[in-house]
Amino acid sequence: MLKTVNQFTFNQEVLASSNPVLVSFWAPWCGVCRLVSPMLSELQTKWDGRIKLVSINADENLKLANAYKLTTLPTVMLFDQGNIHCRLEQFQNRDDLKTASADLQAALEEIMLHQNSPASV
């Protein structure tokens, strides 16, 4: 389930989160945005609570859209410890979504590997 975040809750919900956070920037008029949501929900289910999934309406949160220099929607970002670990944009079709899903999966595995390494304990 996507949790709705806005510019007032962004710092607490995303930047200060102890878990990695998948952020989906979208807009109501964006058809491709509706295709991205199920892919993100699937990743969240697969990672069983080890990641947080949030949604941000870019039209209603222009300060965030400008701060992260959004040029296209949807834009998906993976944050870890307040930093952008992965940024995906320019989705055109379902093949792009499959590639993005694989890229996000790899990025999440890298984060989890790093978090579980002896040096990070």
Residues annotated as catalytic (active site), given as ranges: 30, 33
The pair of structure tokens assigned to 121 is 């304990």
Number of other residues whose CB lies within 10 A of the CB of residue 64 = 19
Sheet of strand 21-26, all strands in order from the earlier edge strand to the far edge: 3-4, 52-57, 21-26, 75-80, 83-88
Whose tokens are 């949790």? That residue is 3
3-state secondary structure of 54: strand
The contacts of residue 120 (CB under 8 Å, 6+ apart) are 114
